[in-house]
Structure 1
Amino acid sequence: MNIIDFYNLYLNSNKVTIDSRKIDENDIFFAFSGENFNAATLAEDAIQKGASAVIVEDKNFENTAKNIFYVESTLVFLQELAKYHRDQLNIPIIALTGSNGKTTTKELIHAVLSQKFNVQYTFGNLNNHIGVPLTILSIKPEHEMAVVEMGANHQKEIELLCSIAKPNFGYITNFGKAHLEGFGGVEGVIKGKSELYDYLKSHDQFILINENDEIQVKKTEGYDLIIPFGRRDSEFYFEKIVENNCVGLLYKEVEALSNLTGEYNFTNLCAAASLGLYFGLEFPLIKKAIEEYTPTNMRSQIVKKGDKTLVLDTYNANPSSMKVSLENFNQFAGSKTIIIGDMLELGEESATEHSQILNLAQSLNFDQIITVGPNFKNAEADVTSFLTTEDLIEFLKENNLDSQNILLKASRGIALEKALEFIK
């Protein structure tokens, strides 16, 4: 199947999907197979559900009369289709990556820019070699710009994603201790994330930088097409405000207080506000976007439960984000309990990093420390420890947590949010 020939089918379709359960009328279904499942077997059913075309990588299921087309690789064809579509678009695309905060920043940027423009953006966490093409293919003629999140856990991944999205603007939230196993240490993280800078510089595109981040400044030194924020002499400068455990910013004597907890989110707010100002939004519109944005994605999310304040931050965790979460939570007024789960994908650094986080937790002002997962349990600290979230849930069924404030923080694989309903 030729990309150019297929493109007309795509243009006349509703959307592209890889989930056979979510096929609607006039969708294009890409049949991605797993190790133990041949998704091509779903092709006929997809057509019956109303799909306008199906892409399979098993020639035995090809039926061109029904618009079931064979390709050698569904992944490669999806990526090439996305590249071709990107080449037809004449809108700015903003790409962002980083060790921490990229999803929250993406959503804030979308919230701000949507006050003036029709903005498409990465849905959920579709930020990998499959998710980025799907995001690009979701951009319709009515969209005026797009925000594309890029995740990576090894070298050359951001480079690949840039070749698909071809961004005009880029931002790296930070360089932290995330996916150390895949990147090969912190230096590998810096090198891998900086592939976004490499693409933007080689294509004369714009880079948003936080001038308080020494690595960002060093990596963009000598490059002219930068949009700087952070310092008093930067193009955009904001002061931090914190009220009722929520963080906000002050710009030219106007306050914008968010619903996000954690002073670490201040930089995320600054990035979104800077892009808003760069694209010509008046600050009152930016203030409106910031104040109306409510996190519901298990990232710095405040949940009220009776007289308790819960901070739900269970979508991801690494040593960098865990450290700032604990230090931020330590500033909450009143009694405090932390429930922290294992940080995954740390490789040979795992034992050391988990011990250091426990040492930090014990040095802070917490009334109770509860850990979940084998890595924390193996650290053998003098804390309440459970091997799994299910074990924690059984404990919570029989025991109340007395603290006024409770933090839940863990890597996604621990599924710590399942314990939420059992906290009384």
Structure 2
Amino acid sequence: MSINLKSLIPVFDAEWIGSNTDVFIDHISIDSRSLQNGSKTLFIALSGSNNDAHLYIEELIEKGVQNFAVQYIPESVKGKANFLVVKNTLNALQQFASYYRDLFDFPIIGLTGSNGKTIVKEWLNFLLSPDYNIIRSPKSYNSQVGVPLSVIAINEKHNLGIFEAGISTVNEMEKLEKIIKPNIGVLTSIGSAHDEGFENLEQKIKEKLLLFKNTNVIIYQKNELVDKCLADFSAENPIPDRTFFSWSFKDNSADVFILKKETKNELTIIQYQYEDKASDLEIPFNDSASVENAISCLLVLLYFKYDSKTIQNRVQMLYPVQMRLEVKNGINNCSIIDDSYSSDFQSLKIALDFLESQQKKNATKTVILSDIFQSGFSNEELYSKVSQLVSANKINRVIGIGPTISSFKDKFSNCIAFQDTASFIEAFESLNFSNETILIKGARSFQFEEIVSLLEEKTHETVLEINLDSISHNLNYYKSKLADDVKIMVMVKAFGYGNGGLEIAKLLEHHKVDYLGVAFADEGISLKNGGIKLPIMVLNPESTSFPSIIQYKLEPEIYSLKGLNAFLKIAKEKNLKDFPIHIKMDTGMHRLGFEENTIDELIQTLKNNSSVRVQSILSHLATSDDPKHFGFVEKQIGLFEKLSSKLMSELNINPIRHILNTSGISNFPNAQYNMVRLGIGLYGVSNDSSEQKYLENVGTLKSIISQIRTIPSGDSVGYGRRFMAEKETKIATIPIGYADGISRLWGNEIGFVTIKNQKANIVGSVCMDMLMVDVSNINCKEGDSVIIFGESPTVIEMAEALKTIPYEIMTSISQRVKRVFFR
């Protein structure tokens, strides 16, 4: 890409404000964190209800970015850069992508549906890549922002595109169609995802079909409703010679009719009829979703005129698609970013940005990279671009694996190269991995999972998976409830409610929350040592921790005269001036805080004291989640208003005020004051069932089946023989127990786990390191995955059964359980 910036004025319908008219751009960015931003970047400042990229323009200019598409020019940067001023920057991004797409003329496959889009896209890329130079959506970039970013990655060497489009409501697909402009349409499985955005299933299908307004062929699974929608769609969007290419298990009028389907071990064997010829196809999966996705791919191959032998040879090599970047603990204090299943130029850019967001403070950044395929560039041009990316991201060392990258290792400043993965493994001990953040990025053929296994910290096979995207979603949900000028403090105490403090704090810092809250000083110190720069409030500081709080520039909550005087004494000894403190009022919780009868003495103590500054005044609601006691909450808020106003008036100060917790944000919007404190809601748990449906699950506790045995009627399981089999019973043992945080009360058929999407009741007592479940009716084997909690059972279900609260379930998960973070 090399485009004259001024030529984009009519594309954006923009007003030009700038001095340098002779500028060429080669990169579009919407991410202010990206180290790939530079002098030839056009930064498009997206502005939404929860984030405004215009706030980052000044720091981007300081980093060398000079060209911006904006909705307004902040006062502080006027005259300092080139600006294309538009009405709506998201529309501008989409308009540019549509303009850029028109510069190329080759077949584009457009995919939409409720489920399977990303899987089908990745499989089609694999199946067609021997014959085409393919550009495809990276990861699952299928949104109003993701689609234009995907299309902008096209270059002159590509000759086939595969892009997916996802929508959540009406009037979205038409915008994506104008960007993708597919010639070939594939409609994948239609399910219940995002149902809430549509009146009914028919409306959803019709909206999705709008992606195919100008396609020559539409590939789909035949059924009565889809056929009806296609008929209506064709009448409204007629195209000469458009064809519908259908498949079915049941309707023999389909173009491809599945005559037989047989499951055999891990395989599915189908016989399909096409053009009066029956052919067999072996699909290396036995679940129905994968089989249907493979059949969608089959129809594309048939449309492209591949013969049955070639189809069989390629389809039998299909593989499970990992759709996320995972962060794992590594050996010798390393962090591992596992992206070991794909190697293309566009996803490398995404992975490098993710590496930057996850890097440990002062840690070396290392990239282990295989040969890159399907870039559309010559090798010389490709590895020059890769080297520029690596340099921009300040990677300390590159380990190249593969014959091609090895021949270009001189393009990297600090590169060790190996011809293959086996050579790397042989030299592993000599590479001395320690205190590094390591991105492992490789094509499947290089089997980089072996490298991940070598570098990964060896712990037991129980993990707590943390979905960072879900945290972002939940944060934005609660932000949407706040007035524009209200700040937000997020609680990351108790190891981020059991989910992992530092990693979540990094994400919150990216989202520019205003404060982090921890319970004790050592939690705050750990975050500061991890590189967190956000202000951190310590809610329960002990007087012995005051020197450390001052040293690490934490901010203490002060809740008693004794604590205040102790802090003031140290502050004076250290000659502090205006050190921020937070004054806690007791308005009825009766846990910590200044009561009304101590306010006068508090005021006298603080008057004319320059050592500290009252940064905020706060209190805590006792019953904000219980409608029966909302009257008490109103009294608390009234008392807080009275006491805080008195403190402000007497001291002539205007600090931040905050009283609302998670449920308070939802139930008492008129008491937002200057800031709110978000806690358990960030982690996907609400006390309100009507609100719960808008939150996404964050933590999924997983394990595996260690062993399966069948016991006869009359035999017992576990300590105390608390389970007695009434009939022949198949028992699976799971390596997780009360030492990992699973309550013993959850045993003895009160609780359950999920295996193969089916409930398996816990039988007998939960042991220290193991529990046993009844899998008599589940087709499972040793090594299969087990969900301890997540979508089912939820922590809310567990808490109700155990007569406790979700907080206790989440924070009880032991530190010996490995946390895996992913997007």
TM-score normalised to structure 2 length:
0.37
Q: 2:219 aligns with which of 205, 208, 227?
A: 208
Distance in 1, matches of 2:815 and 2:43, equals 44
CA contact (8 A) 1:370 1:383 kept: no
CA contact (8 A) 2:283 2:291 kept: no
Classify 1:34/1:374 alpha carbon distance in 2 versus 1 (closer, same or farther; 3 Å).
Answer: farther
Post-superposition CA distance 1:252-300 (Å, at most 9, x none) = 6665443x5622211101111221232234455543365153422269x
Distance in 1, matches of 2:732 and 2:168, equals 33
Shift of 1:109: 1.8
Q: 2:88 aligns with which of 40, 60, 73?
A: 73
1:133 aligned onto 2:148: yes
Q: 2:28 aligns with which of 9, 16, 19?
A: 16
Distance in 1, matches of 2:190 and 2:9, equals 42
3-state SS of 1:171 partner: strand
Distance in 1, matches of 2:24 and 2:268, equals 44
- Whichever residue aligns with residue 85 of structure 1, its letter is Y
1:111 aligned onto 2:136: no
Distance in 2, matches of 1:234 and 1:125, equals 30
| Matching residue of 1:159 | 174
- Whichever residue aligns with residue 372 of structure 1, its letter is G
Distance in 1, matches of 2:303 and 2:160, equals 14
CA contact (8 A) 1:118 1:142 kept: yes
| Matching residue of 1:124 | 139
Classify 1:248/1:71 alpha carbon distance in 2 versus 1 (closer, same or farther; 3 Å).
Answer: farther
3-state SS of 2:99 partner: helix
Shift of 1:42: 3.1
How many residues align? The count is 363
Distance in 1, matches of 2:310 and 2:289, equals 23
| Matching residue of 2:329 | none
Post-superposition CA distance 1:32-87 (Å, at most 9, x none) = 23446542343354456455732222224676884443322211111111121222
| Matching residue of 1:295 | 321
3-state SS of 2:162 partner: strand
Distance in 2, matches of 1:143 and 1:88, equals 12
Distance in 2, matches of 1:386 and 1:115, equals 57
3-state SS of 1:220 partner: helix
Distance in 2, matches of 1:220 and 1:235, equals 15
| Matching residue of 1:42 | 56
Post-superposition CA distance 1:301-355 (Å, at most 9, x none) = 9x99999899x9x899x9xxxxxxxxxxxxxx986699xxxxxxxxxxxxxxxxx
Classify 1:5/1:141 alpha carbon distance in 2 versus 1 (closer, same or farther; 3 Å).
Answer: farther
| Matching residue of 1:280 | 305
- Whichever residue aligns with residue 274 of structure 1, its letter is L
- Whichever residue aligns with residue 280 of structure 1, its letter is K
Classify 1:373/1:266 alpha carbon distance in 2 versus 1 (closer, same or farther; 3 Å).
Answer: closer
- Whichever residue aligns with residue 33 of structure 1, its letter is S
3-state SS of 2:219 partner: strand
| Matching residue of 1:220 | 230
Q: 1:372 aligns with which of 766, 782, 790?
A: 790
1:53 aligned onto 2:67: yes
After the TM superposition, which residues 156-305 of structure 1 pair with which residues of structure 2 at under 5 Å, given as runs? 156-184=171-199, 187=200, 189-198=201-210, 200=212, 202-203=213-214, 205-211=216-222, 213-221=223-231, 225-230=243-248, 234-236=254-256, 240=261, 242-245=263-266, 247=268, 255-258=281-284, 262-283=287-308, 285-286=310-311, 287-288=313-314, 291-297=317-323
Report which stretch shifted further, 79-88 or 232-241: 232-241
Shift of 1:116: 1.2
Distance in 1, matches of 2:100 and 2:166, equals 21
Q: What is the aligned-residue RMSD (CA, Å)?
A: 4.9
Post-superposition CA distance 1:73-118 (Å, at most 9, x none) = 2111111111212223212222211122222112112222222111
Report which stretch shifted further, 369-378 or 159-168: 369-378
After the TM superposition, which residues 400-415 of structure 1 pair with which residues of structure 2 at under 5 Å, given as runs? none
Distance in 2, matches of 1:390 and 1:235, equals 56
- Whichever residue aligns with residue 53 of structure 2, its letter is A
3-state SS of 2:84 partner: strand
3-state SS of 1:21 partner: coil
Classify 1:141/1:372 alpha carbon distance in 2 versus 1 (closer, same or farther; 3 Å).
Answer: same
Shift of 1:249: 5.5
Classify 1:389/1:336 alpha carbon distance in 2 versus 1 (closer, same or farther; 3 Å).
Answer: farther
Report which stretch shifted further, 44-53 or 161-170: 44-53
Shift of 1:151: 1.1
Shift of 1:12: 5.8
Max Rg structure = 2
3-state SS of 2:317 partner: helix
CA contact (8 A) 1:93 1:148 kept: yes
Distance in 2, matches of 1:78 and 1:149, equals 17
Classify 1:163/1:375 alpha carbon distance in 2 versus 1 (closer, same or farther; 3 Å).
Answer: farther
Distance in 1, matches of 2:52 and 2:792, equals 35
CA contact (8 A) 2:108 2:184 kept: yes
- Whichever residue aligns with residue 206 of structure 1, its letter is V
Shift of 1:180: 2.4
Distance in 2, matches of 1:390 and 1:93, equals 51
CA contact (8 A) 1:247 1:257 kept: yes
Report which stretch shifted further, 125-134 or 87-96: 87-96
CA contact (8 A) 2:219 2:246 kept: yes
3-state SS of 1:99 partner: coil
Distance in 2, matches of 1:290 and 1:309, equals 31
3-state SS of 2:246 partner: strand
CA contact (8 A) 2:184 2:215 kept: no
Identity of aligned residues (%): 24
Alignment gaps of 5+ in structure 2: 13-20, 235-241, 273-277, 326-340, 342-448, 471-692, 694-707, 710-730, 735-753, 761-774, 781-785
| Matching residue of 1:391 | 809
Distance in 2, matches of 1:276 and 1:217, equals 22
Post-superposition CA distance 1:172-218 (Å, at most 9, x none) = 2122222222224xx2x431332243453x5363110223x333333
Classify 1:88/1:30 alpha carbon distance in 2 versus 1 (closer, same or farther; 3 Å).
Answer: same
CA contact (8 A) 2:110 2:165 kept: yes
Classify 1:388/1:122 alpha carbon distance in 2 versus 1 (closer, same or farther; 3 Å).
Answer: farther
Alignment gaps of 5+ in structure 1: 319-332, 339-356, 400-415, 420-424
Post-superposition CA distance 1:361-386 (Å, at most 9, x none) = 45992598844369956668998899
Distance in 1, matches of 2:228 and 2:207, equals 14
Distance in 1, matches of 2:294 and 2:808, equals 35
Distance in 2, matches of 1:149 and 1:390, equals 41
3-state SS of 2:102 partner: helix
Report which stretch shifted further, 220-229 or 78-87: 220-229
Classify 1:50/1:248 alpha carbon distance in 2 versus 1 (closer, same or farther; 3 Å).
Answer: farther
